[in-house]
Amino acid sequence: MTDATTKAPTARQRRGWNVADIVREYGVLLIIVLLLVVLTMLSDSFLTPRNLLNILNQSTPLFIISCALTLVIIGGGFDLSTGAIFGVAAVSAAWLAINVDPYLAMVAAPLIGIVLGTINGVIITAFNVHSFLVTLATSLVYRGMAILVTNGKLIPVRIDEFAWLGRQKLDLGGGVSVNIAVIVMLVFMALIMFILNRTTLGRAIYAVGGNEEAALLSGIRTNLVKIITFAFSGGAAGLAGVITVSRLSMGEPQAGTGLEFEAIAAVILGGTSIMGGAGAIWRSMAGVLLLALIGNGFNILNVNPFFKDLTTGVIIVLAVALAAAGNRR
């Protein structure tokens, strides 16, 4: 007797895998391996523990935001406000660190992000407006809030207790050390992966993104699921914001401008479906890593930044084309 929990084989599984399928499913990983090989051959300073850890450290905010944004996109949503929430949380943390308490500032930034993300979700579900339009509008509001907090000025934060999150390192031995921020990012990533893959909420997110009407009929509180995904996205932006301010010792109202587009590009590049219902955290992390490797490689080789943007754009277009070709089959 067949186990009732056994899933029926997909069309792709029945016909077997071919080279085209492998490229579509794991193309981003293949490109990463190719980049690692090429950059290692071109520069002796690339494949070193110090440089690789530096890549992770510099990309920590983008890793965190992309990780949570994956939940939103799998759930069928879109969030253009993460950069603005990043800015609000960053300047709020800077102000609180100076005027109240540095440790409170580190806790408050993610909470501010959760509140702003929840507002996004509530507006989207209450008025049944597409998340693209809502988050585009709220991004302008939130950016204005950041300017109000700072009065349009920079907020320098030279407090050792606050700089701990972004600058403190943990010695791994052998002259190798890793930033605390990287450890925070890895813990956050593990948490999101657990939620998405091992919990009822994760299954509900896939269901809502795959077919919202069917999910609603099956008893899933679709509006609540959407709100939760946007709350996660906002909280991640707040966490990324306080890490960045802690590292730079400076809060500025325009911080995070364009970060939302980098995160969306990373998620799409990793292979998460922009239509919702399909994707994985590891895919988005691979997309972020690919973007980081491109940037780091071009910096090491001292190549014109124009070619970096050109290369990134071409790779994203190819990734989307491959995904679209796979969906048509």
For 267-324, write each residue's pLDDT tens digit: 988 888 888 888 899 999 999 999 898 888 888 888 777 777 787 778 777 766 766 6
Tell me the pLDDT band of 8, cut-offs 50, 70 and 90. very low
From the list 206, 249, 250, the residue with the least C-alpha distance to 225 is 206
Q: Quote the pLDDT of residue 325.
A: 60
For 167-187, write each residue's pLDDT tens digit: 888 887 777 788 899 999 999
8-state DSSP, 108: H
Structure tokens at 107: 């806790």
What average pLDDT score do residues 245-263 get?
A: 89
**DSSP symbols for 220-279:** --HHHHHHHHHHHHHHHHHHHHHHHHHHHTEE-TTTTTTHHHHHHHHHHHHT--TTSS--
In the predicted model, is pLDDT for residue 328 greater than 60?
no
Q: Quote the pLDDT of residue 2.
A: 41
Q: Beta strand 176-179 with 169-173: parallel, antiparallel or unpaired?
A: antiparallel
CA-to-CA distance for 316 and 32, rounded, in angstroms? Answer: 13
What pTM value is reported for the model?
0.88
CA-to-CA distance for 300 and 296, rounded, in angstroms? Answer: 6
Q: Quote the pLDDT of residue 255.
A: 87
Q: Quote the pLDDT of residue 149.
A: 85
What average pLDDT score do residues 92-118 get?
A: 94
Tell me the pLDDT band of 13, cut-offs 50, 70 and 90. low
In the predicted model, is pLDDT for residue 24 greater than 70?
no
Q: Quote the pLDDT of residue 5.
A: 39
pLDDT, mean over the chain: 86
Segment (H or E) for 155: strand 155-156
CA-to-CA distance for 82 and 221, rounded, in angstroms? Answer: 24
